[in-house]
Amino acid sequence: MKKTTKQMLYTMPAVIFIAGTILVGAFIAVIQSFGYFPEIGLKNWTTEYYRSVFSQPLLFHSFVYSFKTAFLSSVVGVGFGVVSSYLLVTYNKELNLYRRFLALPVAVPHIIVVVIVFNLFIRTGFVSRLLVGSGLLESFEQFPSLLFTDSGFGVIAVYFWKAFPYTIMVLYSVLRSIHHQYRPVSMNLGARNYQYFIHVVLPMAKPMILTTSIILFAFSFSAYEVPFLLGATVPKALPVQAYIDYTSPILENRPYAMAINVLMMVVAFVLIAVYDFVSSSVERRRNHA
């Protein structure tokens, strides 16, 4: 047998188990979201729970809150990562020198980062103590409330901690290749650094930047632990609201949780489709080049 066939056979049991578990869970979520939950006496198919999700202002605000924190954390993290990668490439800095420094935030679990952000930005935390001690603030009450608010600052800060170094590690090689090929030509044509960055680097790296943003957004949008620990009390993030409805002793709330989960799955599938489209477009360009 060929080596690839053997490898497929060896991994097939694990693939079947994982895929089967995911598919069965998704199937149960879908049918329960449409009101079919015979274990508690719900046997009539209905779209009531989806209508409720879209019509209730609180759930709509939860969607907006989750979208906002995921979008801002991914955009800001990728933005800083792109600029930092470009500066490393421009000043001919080898990524190997910084790899351990960049790998640390990526490797640290989110729970640890939550503790760090909490101790830094709570009203009596390190930053407020530093400002009060330096005389910039007269009391802790003057320090703005950054955590557990609908601004999502704490959630965004945690995801930024992860997104920023991850983006550098992903984009460095791409930007380095672009820089070596097109920077001398741009200099000969009289392009300044900002012109070269805006008109050459960003358009050529756009597919990879978009792909990285999609990955980070998809993770942040559906993650549970960070908005649960640092997010707003009202509105709650969608994953947190789904967990509350799912674990409620009132089992009639379970379909609401499943409807929220299905909506998050739909968002994930849309992002996967966008990711696949971008990847296919990049591959077609490479084949035509």
Q: What is the pLDDT along the chain (289 residues), one digit of tens a residue?
A: 566 777 777 788 888 888 888 888 889 989 999 988 888 888 889 888 888 888 888 888 898 999 999 999 999 999 999 998 888 888 776 666 666 777 778 788 889 999 999 999 998 899 999 999 888 888 888 898 889 988 899 999 999 998 999 998 888 888 888 888 888 888 888 888 888 888 888 888 888 898 899 889 988 998 889 999 998 888 889 999 999 888 888 888 889 899 999 988 888 888 888 877 877 776 676 666 5
Query: DSSP label at 98?
Result: T
Cβ neighbours of residue 186 closer than 8 Å, sequence gap 6 or more: 195, 196, 200
pLDDT of residue 54: 80
HEC-encoded secondary structure of 5-61: HHHHHHHHHHHHHHHHHHHHHHHHHHHHHCCCEHHHCECCCCCHHHHHHHHCHHHHH
The pLDDT assigned to 287 comes to 63
158 and 110 Cβ atoms separated by less than 8 Å: yes
Task: Determine the pLDDT at residue 288.
Answer: 62
CB 226 within 8 A of CB 159: yes
Instruction: Please say whether the beta carbons of 69 and 227 come within 8 A.
Output: yes
Percentage, residues of the chain above pLDDT 70: 93
Kindly tell me the burial class for residue 161, based on how many C-beta atoms sit within 10 Å of its own C-beta (0-12, 13-18, 19 or more): buried
Q: Give the model's pLDDT for residue 272.
A: 81
CA 238 – CA 217 distance, rounded (Å)? 14
CA–CA separation, 241 and 261 (whole Å): 10
Contact between 220 and 231 (Cβ < 8 Å):
no
pLDDT of residue 106: 78
Q: For residue 235, is the peptide bond before it cis, meaning its omega torsion is within 30 degrees of 0? A: yes
- What pLDDT was estimated at residue 81? 92
Q: Determine contact, residues 73/228, Cβ cutoff 8 Å.
A: no
Q: Does domain 57-288 have CATH number 1.10.3720.10?
A: yes
Cα dihedral 161, 162, 164, 170 in deg (nearest 10): 170
Neighbour-count burial of 184, counting CB atoms closer than 10 A to its CB (0-12 exposed, 13-18 middle, 19+ buried): exposed
Q: Where are the domains of the chain?
A: 57-288
Phi, psi for residue 147 in degrees, rounded to 5: -105, 155
In 3D, which of 53, 113, 96 has the Cα closest to residue 242?
A: 53
DSSP state of 97: G
67 in Cβ contact with 220 (< 8 Å) = no
Q: What is the pTM of this model?
A: 0.83
Return the pLDDT at 91.
Answer: 79
